[in-house]
Structure 1
Amino acid sequence: MTQATLVRPSQEHRETPSRTRRRGSWGHMSTRERVLRYVLLVVVLVITIGPFLWQLSTSLKGSGEDIYTSTPSFIPAQPTLDNYAKVADAIPVWVYIGNSLVVAAIDVIGNIVFATFAGFALARLRWKGRRYILGLFLATLVLPGEATIISQFVTVKDLGLADSLVGVALPGMIAALNVLLMYNAFRQIPEEIDQAAVMDGANAWQRLWSIALPAVQGTIAVIAIFAFIGAWDDFLWPLIVLQSPDKLTLTVGLQYLQGTFSNDQRLIAAGTMIAFIPIAVIFSVLQRFFFKGVEEGGVKG
């Protein structure tokens, strides 16, 4: 007892400086560190938000306002919404938006369904070759999309889906990254819950529907956002597959603004903002679930 009493104060004496340094590094910042961090945050903010604000400002500037001045201004001197109306007059923007929504809806539903099934099978079921299949999913992340685009087009053409919205949506109906996200989310569910369900006589479908899905709703929202943005912003694949003007997606259809009005940057900026609005709406609706899904995908200590 006496020896333990003599050792404990020395241990406390040795641990106190390190704890003090840790509290000082995380809890309190010097004025120089605080200024440096805020400067870095402002730089990152300008780099990421600056182009968006410039496009928004350009889309609201009237035809009598010079957008190529040596001293650019973010605040329009003659704010107007006429540029958005001119976009609708120049191209069938509502048709293109409808086509993009159809493609995005197919990809979102496909990724939610197939990524959920694949992630659950890889994470919660035991079957031969599971690790090899998981390795194949990881390997596909290394391949760029352009490496398989020719084979994808040949496959879509042989299926008779060329120049169709289904042909555009088909390759994006399941993404390897989304499968891995669901795999990681399902792995966070304690094994004891599965074992208790098996002892109660639950089969794989019952465990998926009653236990696993309620625990990964946030990750499903993350997948929905990723799938929607990927399908909505895709340009190269719809450009290759589609030929009919009435079947073009919005990203491809906006290219008709180039040259229609002598490359008026105001119309191009307005078209860009029109394409951005659905993404902002989707993220605003699913924002709460998105951050919940990020926490679900984190590794628990």
Structure 2
Amino acid sequence: MPEPRRADKYRGGLLATHALLIIGAIVMVSPYVVQILTSLKTYQETVQVPPVLWPARPQWGNYTAIFSDSFPVGRQLLNTTVAAAARAAGQILLGSMAAFAFARLEFRFRGVIFALFLSVLMVPSQLFLIPQYQVIQSLGWLDTVQALFLPGIFSAFGVFLLRQFFMTLPRELDEAARLDGCNPFQIYWHILLPLVRPALVALALLTVVQSWNDLLWPLVVNSSPDQLPVSAGMANLQGQFLDKFQLIMAAAVLTTAPIIVLFAVLQRQFIAGFASSGLK
């Protein structure tokens, strides 16, 4: 009799776990579903009491209406994409070089320098706003696209994440490459870097999401609507079109859709990157 009881308990626990996961998924997905449905409504339907969930007739014109001179969402999506791609490329290239040096090369005060890198993580990012602004101003890059991504092309977290991954690779790879005549850069570029692809994907995805959601920094360095990312443009849209809530929701759908698609495509590599680096 103990075996059937144990099996029943296991089955009951499994059902309860799946039920909680389904409820959690519904709670998380519901706001996005409501956002999509609201973007297809008329203004009268968005303010109707009691509220209606389904639009009587989908207003696909809401999505074309936001591509106007008053709200240059197309240009802002392009700015956001360029800034996110540049940040991700910088993080991967510069972060992987620094991580390789800390993980595989021997030099004096390596531990002390790495500890200084990690100490940056304990400093609130808002404290860097004024120094970073002064750098951008001295370069003459205020109100430009490059001002959006320059401070974000390198981070201590990226170095830490990639270093953890490099340290899991066997040292025999380096020794075999040296016997074949490889210098440290060749070992990094041709041998080890291809092996840390999951961590690179994880870092790139985190960087893209952070850049896509960035709001404070773009508002500090850029003021022209044509030079803002879509996150800052959405903030302006909420102030300008309070009487057109359906347009705000349409812009929000276009803003969040690329990140959802990107994560859906790269989620397996994203999870593998954290699992292999020991950051669980």
TM-score bucket of the superposed structures, by smaller chain: 0.7 to 0.9
Distance 1:192 1:259 in 2: 59
Aligned residue among 19, 22, 29 for 1:42: 22
Distance 1:294 1:207 in 2: 23
Structure 1 residues 63 and 184: alpha-carbon distance in aligned structure 2, compared to 1, 3 A threshold? same
Tell me if structure 2 keeps the 8 A contact 1:115–1:174: yes
Structure 1 residues 71 and 95: alpha-carbon distance in aligned structure 2, compared to 1, 3 A threshold? closer
Any idea what SS the aligned residue of 2:45 has? coil
Aligned residue among 53, 59, 62 for 1:80: 59
Which residue identity is paired with 2:215? F
Structure 1 residues 66 and 253: alpha-carbon distance in aligned structure 2, compared to 1, 3 A threshold? closer
Structure 1 residues 169 and 266: alpha-carbon distance in aligned structure 2, compared to 1, 3 A threshold? same
Match of 1:29 in 2: 10
1:113-137, Cα deviation, whole Å (9 max, x unpaired): 1011011111111111211122122
Structure 2 residue 156 is matched with structure 1 residue 156: no
Match of 2:213 in 1: 233
Structure 2 residue 30 is matched with structure 1 residue 61: no
The offset of 1:243, in angstroms, is: 1.9
Structure 2 residue 32 is matched with structure 1 residue 52: yes
Structure 1 residues 38 and 120: alpha-carbon distance in aligned structure 2, compared to 1, 3 A threshold? same
The offset of 1:68, in angstroms, is: 5.0
Q: What percentage of aligned pairs have identical amino acids?
A: 34
Larger Rg: 1
Paired positions, count: 276
More moved, 239-248 vs 197-206: 197-206
1:128-171, Cα deviation, whole Å (9 max, x unpaired): 12111221222222222112222221222223222222122111
Any idea what SS the aligned residue of 2:67 has? helix
Distance 2:133 2:242 in 1: 33
**TM-score, length-scaled by structure 2:** 0.88
More moved, 76-85 vs 90-99: 76-85
The offset of 1:30, in angstroms, is: 4.3
Tell me if structure 2 keeps the 8 A contact 1:218–1:293: yes
Tell me if structure 1 keeps the 8 A contact 2:205–2:263: yes
Structure 1 residues 43 and 138: alpha-carbon distance in aligned structure 2, compared to 1, 3 A threshold? farther
Q: Which runs of 5+ in 1 are unaligned?
A: 1-19
Match of 1:280 in 2: 260
Structure 2 residue 76 is matched with structure 1 residue 96: yes
Any idea what SS the aligned residue of 2:154 has? coil
Tell me if structure 2 keeps the 8 A contact 1:152–1:171: yes
Which residue identity is paired with 2:20? L
1:168-213, Cα deviation, whole Å (9 max, x unpaired): 2111011221111110111110112222222333210111122101
Distance 2:48 2:94 in 1: 49
Tell me if structure 2 keeps the 8 A contact 1:58–1:67: no
Q: Which runs of 5+ in 2 are unaligned?
A: none
Which residue identity is paired with 1:84? Y
Tell me if structure 2 keeps the 8 A contact 1:122–1:134: yes
Show the 5 A alignment for 1:231-270.
231-270=211-250
Structure 2 residue 158 is matched with structure 1 residue 185: no
Distance 1:200 1:257 in 2: 59
Match of 1:223 in 2: 203
More moved, 41-50 vs 89-98: 41-50
Distance 1:261 1:213 in 2: 48
Structure 1 residues 189 and 62: alpha-carbon distance in aligned structure 2, compared to 1, 3 A threshold? same
